[in-house]
Each structure stands twice: as structure tokens, then as C-alpha cells.
Amino acid sequence: MRDFGLQWKKYNQRDLSNQEKQGLFQNYFRIFPDQHFGTSARGFDFGCGSGRFAALVAPRVKSLSCLDASEMALAVARHNLRAFRNCRFYLVRNRELPLKNSSMDFGFSLGVLHHLPRPQEGLTACVRKLKPGAPFLLYLYYNLDNQPSWYRILWAGTDRFRQWICRLPFAPKKTVCWLVAALIYLPLARAAALLEYFGCLPASFPLSFYRHLSFYSMKTDALDRFGTRVEHRFSRRAIRRMMLTAGLHRIHFSPQAPFWCAVGFRTKTAIKEKFSSKVPPRPRKSQKVPQKGKRE
């Protein structure tokens, strides 16, 4: 939490152009049903960080609750969203979110839950706050399940590098990640842009997602990618299973990067009844346990 707070304090996204912010927003929200926004809609952003996405959602809704586990991140978000009177800010320090169950018209969590020790619990807690039928937009790191084997081997090498970088103090970690962005992200991204210009960009070209993004975005994402100690990765099938377990259905995945971005809708069945992790109490010896096929 401390490192993410320092990250958003350093890269508060104020130097990002409006055009790039809109482009990043569309990359994630292209599959979100816009009809669930509106002047009466109340929603939440779980893990709001700097408020980058909240700033583009807030003008479209009645109220937006911004939740984060870092006080420093919330301070950055408050400053960036100070023009919006409909934003509320909540510090989350336990598993229970400070929102009423079944009260939200929509919710989203982008690039957050994979940094939690137990992502499934975090997702279920988010979905519990939605009204039945309300959408939830989710982005989790993927395990490269749609990439060739050579790509996964290359990633495995970079992940060993991450496990060393993430344990550094923040100042040297920030410097190393800046070098990663300058020496790896930037050359590969610009090479991808050049190949695209000539019409020969391979589908699995590394870091091609950044080919039209600024170096500022690359610095931010390099620190986000290599600076975190806790990182879970999921296949598309695993993400679908997590969403179903949390109480979402009608799940739809974006066919474009970033993978895997998905949207699902809260089921009408109460989550606490269907997906509770609590074990029901055993009946007392004096109680009769009904058998299958017989009335109690």
C-alpha cells in the first residue's frame, strides 16, 4: 500500500494529455454498457489510485465512490477530482467495503485485484455492493494464455527480474523502473509503431500495446509492473470462474488488449447466500437432519 501510494504521488497523471487519457479510458471501457451511466446512477471505483478513470466517469453519473487502501493515493485522487462535487472518498483497510450492500448501479476495478493476497475475496466483496443486474468492469493481469510459448518464456525471464526489483527501497526501485521504461518499453513500442506503419506488425510483438502511448504512460506502467511484490496472473477461463463465483453472469471479454478486461452483471441471487465462504454450523445431536427426498 505504501509503495502504491508513493507511485501515484510520483506519477499523479496530471502530465498525461486529455487525448491519451481518453484513449486509455476507451481501451478498458469499450465493453462497458454506457446505458448504466446516467444522472441517477451511483457507482464505485475499487482501487481508484490517482483517479485517472474516475475523472472520466464522474461527469456521467450522479455519484462516484472512490475507494483505495492507500491514504497517499486517496490524497492524489482528491486533488485530481476536486472539480467534481459528486465524488466520495473512502479509505479501505479491511475486507468489508464501506458501502451498503446491493446499493450500487455499477462498479469497476482496473488493475487492482491481482495485487491483493486473496483476489477472489476482493472481487466477491465488490460484487456484493451491486444491485441485481448491475454491471461490474474488471481488469486483471493475464497469464499470457493467448500468447505463443516463446512469449511466455520471455515473460518468465522478466518476472525473475521483477522479483528482485520489487524488494528495493522506493527511490532506487523508481530509478530502475525508469530505466526499464527507457531501454525496453520505449524502443519496443516505437518499433511496433514503425512496423504498424508499414503494415507488418505481428500480433504477438512485445509491448505493442504502448506503440501510441507516451513515455509518461510507460514510466507509470513499468513501475506498476515491476515495483509490486504481490502479483497474481489468471487465464481467461480462471477469470470467468472467479466472476461466476463472485456472483456475476452474462460475462463478456474484450477481444483486444489489454487482456483480460471483462464485464459481468450481478445475478439476482443473494451473494451472501449462494457464495458465502462461511461453513454452516453443524446441527446439534438433538436435531434431526432431513434426508434427501424426504420432507423435514
- pLDDT tens track of the chain, all 296 residues? 888 999 999 999 999 999 999 999 999 999 999 999 999 999 999 999 999 999 999 999 999 999 999 999 999 999 999 999 999 999 998 778 999 999 999 999 999 999 999 999 999 999 999 999 999 999 999 999 999 999 999 999 999 999 999 999 999 999 999 999 999 999 999 999 999 999 999 999 999 999 999 999 999 999 999 999 899 999 999 999 999 999 999 999 999 999 999 999 999 865 544 444 344 444 444 444 444 444 43
Q: Tell me, what amino acid is at 106?
A: F
In our burial notation (b when 16+ CB lie closer than 10 A, e otherwise), range 202-235 reads eeebbbbbbbebbebbbbbbbbbbbbbeeebebe
Largest Cα–Cα distance in the chain? 79
Q: H or E element: which one contains 148?
A: none
Q: H or E element: which one contains 17?
A: none
* DSSP per-residue string spanning 221-272: HHHHHHS-S----B-HHHHHHHHHHHTEEEEEE-SSSSTTEEEEEE-SS-HH
pTM of the entire predicted model? 0.88
> What residues have CB less than 8 Å from 283, skipping those under 6 apart?
289
